[in-house]
């Protein structure tokens, strides 16, 4: 008897059938990955499982330990031993680790919290997980990776039998990922069943017993991980065979578009601490320059400093098109032909409640629409181009950006910067958290832009992406230049070695 069985789940939204008869089983101690493009129905299925969509809003059955469950809300599913760790962290940063773990379930007598018991239990739990975290420190003072691990500790404090992890490694460093997987292996051995949602197929294959692929709200296939290849999974996800994900760049390089000399940037909080240490580089027209490095290596800080957006002290010399450029604000950078597709589109890229059109025209508004008085019609026409060339899937330019899928949101951000007519385009994690199909479209667009003569600086945490797209790669380690490779020289091993500070 499986630990969990979902039978024939159908969930409809007005006009859309998000889940169309999905069935899914999970055994005790099994690691079962759920993969599919964004919008395939993974999150919806998990919301059905967790009671976010209560019974009656969908059809089909959920059986836990063979018994039919009736979840009217998240509390019911928690009581049944189901714990979900969502992509966005749900911790209270101002509270301590211990307070967060027991939030809403504090050990108490008549409403008076027993603090020593709470912290005692919390430290036991953390020790069980081999997490060297003090339960009395504020969550906000931990790094994002450790926060994620606290989140998992919180889920386990509820004696979860079924653990659902939705993209848990998106913000983790390699070593944190290893810690996490170590913990997960322990739990598997104890009989906890896990449903793992991820776009990172390497992780999926490293951990999974079985892999289920969803597409358009239907189950495409469920395989033992040993019986299927990555290409097979990708083909099942996109519904077509994928050739080489990275089209051969073959770019023609022109003159130097931007030269940055002796860039130093200091931390906002600790003024003496350098976050970028004496970096110099140039990028030519038609060239894709990749910047690799681990989290915290200073990649984003480097781009922000060039762009005039870093809020700590900065010193550097910038030449654009051979002439010295004075850039003191993003506005200066834009007017001198620098565009910046920032990381974390929801936080830095988009105004989610506004339309595609409003978002796309924001950065270039004064040139697209009018210096002081705007012109809607002119904006609509300007936005039409990128909407078509980037294949943004939306009913109209007036669709609210927040309702789009991640891939389409990312294309809107890219479109916004193309509308500023940049000569140099920075891309910071341009494909994070988006599905394979949209990724390929963005890769193709990057190559097309390079071919048109744009100079591109690409920051990405996904090594294959940097290696596959870049003509040249700079590797940063703790703010310093740790290596430089041409496309032919670069291998994953060499780049990773430089990024970890141990060049071969």
Partner 1 sequence: MEEATTSRFSATTLRAYIMIAVLGLIWAYFHWATDSIFLTPRNLSNLMTQMSVTAILAVGMLMVIVSGNIDLSVGSVLGFAGGLAAYSITIWEYGLPTAIIAAIAVGVIIGVFHGVLTAYLNIPAFIVTLGGLLAWRGAVKWQLGGNTVPVSNDTFKAIGNENVPETIGWALAAVAIAFVLFMAYRKAKSVKDYGLGEANYTGELLKAVIPIGGIVAFILVMNSYQGVPIPVLILVAVALIGAFVTNSTTFGRYLYAIGGNADAARLSGINNKANILKVYALLGALTGVAALIFTARVGSAAPDAGVLKELDAIAACVIGGASLMGGRGTIFGACLGALIMASLDNGMSLLNVRDFMQDIIKGSILVAAVGLDMMGRKQT
Q: Note whether 41 binds partner 1 by CB under 8 A.
A: yes
Considering only 39, 168, 415, 422, the residue that binds partner 1 (CB under 8 A) is 39
Q: Cβ neighbours of residue 293 under 8 Å, at least 6 residues apart? A: 299, 475, 476, 477, 482, 499
Considering only 221, 261, 396, 486, the residue that binds partner 1 (CB under 8 A) is 396
Q: Note whether 457 binds partner 1 by CB under 8 A.
A: no
Considering only 59, 399, 484, 500, the residue that binds partner 1 (CB under 8 A) is 399
Considering only 270, 280, 381, 451, the residue that binds partner 1 (CB under 8 A) is 381
Q: How far is the CB of 235 from partner 1 (least distance, A)?
A: 21
Q: Are 239 and 227 in contact (CB under 8 A)?
A: no
Whichever of 404 and 467 has its CB closer to partner 1, that residue is 404
* Three-state SS annotation for 299-366: HHHHHHHHCCCCCCCEEEEEEECCEEECCCCHHHHHHCCEEEECCCHHHHHCCCCCEHHHHHHCCCHH
> What's the rounded Cα separation, in Å, for the pair 263 and 318?
9
Considering only 45, 297, 383, 394, the residue that binds partner 1 (CB under 8 A) is 394
Helices 406-418/376-389 angle, 10° precision:
120
Nearest to 213 by CA among 84, 22, 62: 22
Whichever of 1 and 16 has its CB closer to partner 1, that residue is 16
Q: Among residue numbers 196 through 225, which ones bind partner 1 (CB under 8 A)?
A: 217
Whichever of 127 and 346 has its CB closer to partner 1, that residue is 346
Dihedral, CA of residue 81, residue 72, residue 60 and residue 19, to nearest 10: -90
Interface size with partner 1, residues (CB under 8 A): 54
> What's the rounded Cα separation, in Å, for the pair 4 and 191?
13
Whichever of 363 and 456 has its CB closer to partner 1, that residue is 363
Q: Note whether 149 binds partner 1 by CB under 8 A.
A: no
Q: Among residue numbers 340 through 379, which ones bind partner 1 (CB under 8 A)?
A: 340, 342, 347-355, 358, 362-363, 365-366, 369-374, 377-378
Q: Cβ neighbours of residue 98 under 8 Å, at least 6 residues apart? A: 118, 119, 122, 123, 135, 136
Q: How far is the CB of 333 from partner 1 (least distance, A)?
A: 7
Whichever of 397 and 483 has its CB closer to partner 1, that residue is 397
> What's the rounded Cα separation, in Å, for the pair 122 and 117?
8
CA distances from 254 to 12, 321, 423 (A): 53, 11, 12
Q: How far is the CB of 335 from partner 1 (least distance, A)?
A: 8
Q: How far is the CB of 394 from partner 1 (least distance, A)?
A: 6
Q: How far is the CB of 457 from partner 1 (least distance, A)?
A: 16
Q: Note whether 309 binds partner 1 by CB under 8 A.
A: yes
> What's the rounded Cα separation, in Å, for the pair 318 and 153?
47
Listed ranges 35-43, 53-61, 171-179, 259-267: which one lies at the site for partner 1 (CB under 8 A): 35-43
Query: How many CB atoms within 10 Å of residue 300?
Result: 24
Q: Note whether 398 binds partner 1 by CB under 8 A.
A: yes
> What's the rounded Cα separation, in Å, for the pair 401 and 408?
9
Q: Cβ neighbours of residue 411 under 8 Å, at least 6 residues apart? A: 386, 390, 391, 392, 438, 441, 442
Listed ranges 11-19, 168-176, 433-441, 459-467: which one lies at the site for partner 1 (CB under 8 A): 11-19
Considering only 63, 256, 400, 496, the residue that binds partner 1 (CB under 8 A) is 400
x-or-dash string of contact with partner 1, 408-427, rule CB under 8 A? --------x---x-------
Integer Rg of the chain from CA: 24
Q: Are strands 112-113 and 4-13 parallel, antiparallel or unpaired?
A: unpaired
Nearest to 24 by CA among 221, 234, 198, 197: 221
Q: Please report, as ranges, the residues that interact with partner 1 according to CB under 8 A.
A: 13, 16, 18, 39-41, 44, 217, 307, 309, 329-331, 333-335, 340, 342, 347-355, 358, 362-363, 365-366, 369-374, 377-378, 380-381, 393-396, 398-400, 403-405, 416, 420
């Amino acid at each position: 008897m499986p630990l969990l069985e979902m039978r024939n789940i159908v969930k409809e939204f007005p006009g859309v059938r998000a889940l169309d008869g999905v069935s899914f089983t999970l055994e005790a101690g099994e690691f079962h990955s759920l993969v599919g493009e964004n919008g395939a129905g993974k999150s919806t299925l998990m919301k059905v499982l967790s009671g976010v969509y209560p019974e009656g809003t969908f059809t089909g059955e959920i059986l836990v330990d063979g018994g039919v469950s009736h979840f009217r809300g998240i509390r019911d599913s928690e009581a049944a031993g189901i714990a979900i760790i969502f992509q966005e962290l749900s911790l209270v940063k101002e509270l301590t680790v211990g307070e967060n773990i027991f939030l809403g379930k504090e050990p108490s007598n008549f409403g008076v919290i027993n603090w020593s018991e709470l912290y005692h239990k919390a430290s036991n739990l953390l020790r069980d997980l081999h997490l060297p975290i003090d339960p009395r420190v504020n969550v906000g003072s931990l790094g994002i990776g450790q926060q994620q691990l606290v989140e998992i500790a919180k889920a386990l404090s509820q004696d979860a039998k079924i653990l659902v992890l939705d993209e848990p490694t998106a913000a983790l460093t390699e070593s944190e990922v290893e810690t996490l997987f170590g913990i997960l292996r322990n739990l598997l051995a104890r009989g906890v069943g896990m449903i793992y949602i991820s776009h990172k197929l390497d992780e999926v294959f490293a951990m999974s017993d079985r892999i289920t692929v969803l597409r358009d709200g239907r189950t495409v296939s469920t395989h033992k991980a040993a019986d299927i290849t990555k290409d097979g999974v990708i083909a099942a996800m996109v519904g077509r065979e994928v050739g080489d994900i990275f089209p051969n760049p073959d770019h023609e390089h022109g003159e130097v578009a931007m030269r940055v000399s002796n860039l130093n940037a200091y931390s906002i909080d600790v003024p003496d601490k350098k976050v970028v240490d004496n970096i110099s580089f140039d990028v030519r027209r038609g060239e894709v320059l990749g910047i690799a490095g681990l989290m915290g290596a200073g990649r984003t800080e480097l781009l922000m400093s060039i762009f005039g957006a870093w809020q700590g002290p900065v010193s550097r010399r910038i030449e654009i098109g051979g002439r010295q450029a004075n850039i003191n604000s993003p506005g200066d950078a834009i007017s001198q032909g620098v565009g910046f597709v920032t990381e974390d589109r929801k936080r830095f890229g988009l105004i989610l409640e506004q339309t595609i059109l409003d978002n796309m025209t924001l950065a270039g508004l004064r040139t697209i629409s009018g210096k002081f008085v705007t012109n809607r019609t002119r904006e609509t026409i300007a936005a039409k181009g990128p909407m078509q060339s980037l294949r943004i899937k939306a009913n109209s330019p007036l669709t609210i950006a927040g309702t789009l899928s991640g891939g389409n949101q990312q294309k809107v951000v890219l479109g916004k910067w193309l509308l500023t007519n940049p000569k140099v385009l920075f891309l910071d994690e341009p494909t994070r958290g988006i599905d394979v199909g949209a990724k390929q479209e963005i890769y193709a667009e990057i190559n097309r832009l390079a071919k048109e003569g744009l100079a591109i600086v690409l920051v990405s945490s996904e090594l294959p992406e940097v290696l596959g797209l870049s003509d040249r790669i700079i590797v940063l380690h703790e703010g310093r230049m740790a290596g430089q490779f041409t496309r032919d020289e670069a291998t994953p091993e060499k780049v990773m070695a430089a990024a970890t500070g141990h060049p071969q």
